[in-house]
Amino acid sequence: MAWGAIATWRMAHDGVVEAMRLLAEKGEAGDAVETLIKTVEDYPYYKSVGFGGLPNAEGILEMDAAFMHGDTFEIGAVAGITDVKNPISVARKLSQDKFNSFRVGEGATKYSMLEGFERKSMLTERAHKIWEKRLIEIHENNLNPYDGHDTVGAITLDQMGTLTAGTSSSGLFMKKPGRVGDSPLSGSGFYVDSEIGGATATGLGEDLMKGCLSYEIVRLMGEGFTPQAACDKAVYEFHDKLTARYGKAGAFSLIAMNTKGEWGVATNVEFTFSVGNDQQEPQIFIADMGANHTTNIQPITQEWLEAYEKRIKAPIE
């Protein structure tokens, strides 16, 4: 059986490597996707997910996450959860509940406490400094407060043919309290069907929610499109439609994988992702929007990787 893993952004690569190790040892897709995303949530220098994520306008770090099982269509999700170490694990646990499987705000946080999930102050000193600096910049330069909304979204395929999907995000930096994006919403932030394939999204949630692109990509794969063709068709046609009707389209990028471990990506911005399967070692690629509704995809360079590592760890002045 084919197997593999794909996830959004460079930040997911270490998680993809660990997920691939589990899958190579005939581990379950659900364990692999949870492990992959926990790796991102735990790393303090990724400022859009988990520990070290950037807070809302009031300085509170609210996190969103979701998990979906492609065999059963079980979905669990949390939105606006606070002070819990791994939101993806809470979402996965909720997927096992027939009722009340999507919890928000205080209800999500209380559920995590009652179920014994590890509590942790997720707002780091570094993230708080970034927040304070942004407040000053907004006040002095009359800037748009919103800056950054990178979700880790992942799809895993195990050797038993099961596909799972997961997402985790601290959402839009400087968002209003209670704001929720696409990441925990089925069909928008993620969708997976073990008989077809899966897709997840990252970008501006307010615009991604207008198109339900994750579901659309899976639907197209079910009609016979390859993952790449499905991504190109869904993303670029909606980009054009949204631009024509709404006047503009925010940033969005989507990834997909099918039951053969084949993968696809489409984006309207410069976008990195990590992917591996039984035929290909995990590798980081960079993509952007090409001509004629196609996607340009190239491996990253060592120079790019070194600049990235330097940038995310640069001191906050």
Tokens of 255: 């990834």
Tell whether residue 205 is among the known ligand binding residues: yes
Tell whether residue 59 is among the known ligand binding residues: no
Return the active site residues.
Answer: 151
What residue spans define the domains of the chain? Answer: 4-313
Tell whether residue 105 is among the known ligand binding residues: no
Residue 139's pLDDT is 82
Tell whether residue 70 is among the known ligand binding residues: no
**How confident is the prediction along the chain (317 residues), in pLDDT tens digits per residue?**
899 999 999 999 999 999 999 999 999 999 999 999 999 999 999 999 999 999 999 999 999 999 999 999 999 999 999 999 999 999 999 999 999 999 999 999 999 999 999 999 999 999 999 999 989 988 887 777 776 779 999 999 999 999 999 999 999 999 999 999 999 999 999 999 999 999 999 999 999 999 999 999 999 999 999 999 999 999 999 999 999 999 999 999 999 999 999 999 999 999 999 999 999 999 999 999 999 999 999 999 999 999 999 999 999 97
Pairing, β 75-81 against β 102-104: parallel
Residue 206's pLDDT is 95
Residue 24's pLDDT is 98
For the chain, how far is it from start to end, CA to CA, in angstroms? 51
What is the DSSP secondary-structure string of 65-121?
A: EEEEETTT--EEEEEEE-SBS-HHHHHHHHTT-SSS-EEEHHHHHHHHHHTTPPB--
Tell whether residue 181 is among the known ligand binding residues: yes
Collect contacts of 310-315 with beta carbons under 8 A, ≥24 apart. 312/45, 312/46, 312/47, 313/45
> Tell me, which fold does domain 4-313 have in CATH?
Glutamine Phosphoribosylpyrophosphate, subunit 1, domain 1 (3.60.20)
Residue 121's pLDDT is 97
Contacts for 127 with CB less than 8 Å, ≥ 6 apart: 47, 52, 53, 54, 55, 61
Residue 142's pLDDT is 72
